[in-house]
A = this chain, B = another copy of it.
Amino acid sequence: MKKQAVKLEDVAAVAGVSKTTVSRVLNNRGYLSQATIDKVHKAMQELHYRPNIIARQLYQQRTNLVGLVFPTVDNPFFGQLEACLDHELYKRGYRVLMGNSQNNPDRERAYLRQLLNGQVDGLIVGAHNEGIEQYRNIQLPVVSIERLVSKDIPVVAADNYAGGVLATQQLLDDGCQHIIHTNYPHDLASPNMERRRAYEELMRRHGLPMYTYEVSFDSSTAEKIKIFYRLFDEHPEVDGVFADNDTNASLIMQVARKRGRRVPEDLKVVGFDGANMTRTLLPELTTIQQPIQQMATAAVQLLQDQIDGKKTTNSVQLPVKLIHGTTA
């Protein structure tokens, strides 16, 4: 137990009124004379009174906190997404409890266990780990972004299929014959798979060979680079790459240069995400831009609806856009 802070009762004593009256002044509730209001305000000032939020939360059964469960914030896409979510939630009076799982199922579980115990009013999740059974039979409002969690939970996602088509078509239009795709391991039930489906359909339709390299999100940069070296070794004929995110696209271009390929002369590259940070640091990259801001807005709207008890469990899909750089 920590030291005693000034509490409502102390204010009441100094102002010469009851706790209720102070609480009413605080919350602007019921009838109050100006004289009483002034008295109470004066007492609060004198004592440097700060109402204890936790006590209020306990009574109101509401914390105005929303948990964000994502892999990490140190990433152009998730960083911008969490920043947007934070901003949207702030506008509605919510604060954000960070739950970076680092793609560690234990951590995700730990966060969930804790957050479900009345710590937050709702959850927005985008972590990868499949089959976390705690998501089932959840009593809490939950919205998922770019992840399939459970069929009761609405998903906000970009139109990944259209994105896959745009990217692949761009490479085909550029005359590429040997296009390689990178994506998550396919056992992850992620909307990302739609990009792969689009890629494979287009390649098949054009009678071209298809190769997908699976790169898990939580691999280290060194591991990813190793995979990309292998990519060039196993497929020296590659003349186009459709990467599943801009960071991987950047790594692939670095490896390509090390292997003596010039981009875009010898190799075209299209990325995915088009986050602010990538646009600033790597503006030459041609990429499929996800509408991050809109995704955040939609997710928060869906969450608010659930918190308000509205039964709108509809998923949302938002359009993507091809950004023309110089790499494809």
Residues of A within 8 A of B (CB): 1-2, 5, 48, 50-55, 57-58, 60-63, 65, 68, 72-76, 79-80, 82-83, 86-87, 90, 95-100, 102, 107, 111, 114, 116-119, 137, 139, 221, 246-247, 250-251, 254, 276-278, 280-283
Do B82 and A73 touch across chains, with their CB atoms under 8 A apart? Answer: yes
Note all chain B residues with C-beta closer than 8 A to A280.
Answer: 221, 247, 250-251
Note all chain B residues with C-beta closer than 8 A to A63.
Answer: 54
Do A83 and B73 touch across chains, with their CB atoms under 8 A apart? Answer: yes
Task: Contacts A72-B83, A83-B74, A83-B100 given; indicate if A118 touches B53 (C-beta within 8 A).
Answer: yes
Do B276 and A50 touch across chains, with their CB atoms under 8 A apart? Answer: no
Name the contact of A98 in the complex, choosing from B1, B72, B96 (C-beta under 8 A): B96
Q: What are 13 A-B contacts defined by CB distance under 8 Å?
A: A2-B62, A52-B58, A54-B63, A54-B119, A58-B58, A73-B73, A73-B86, A74-B82, A75-B277, A95-B97, A96-B97, A246-B281, A254-B283
Note all chain B residues with C-beta closer than 8 A to A75.
Answer: 79, 277
- Give the distance in Å from the alpha carbon of A283 to the alpha carbon of B73 in the complex: 20
Given contacts A73-B82, A90-B107, A95-B99, 17 further A-B contacts (CB under 8 A): A48-B137, A52-B118, A53-B117, A53-B119, A54-B57, A54-B119, A58-B58, A73-B73, A74-B80, A74-B82, A74-B83, A75-B79, A86-B98, A95-B98, A221-B280, A246-B281, A281-B281
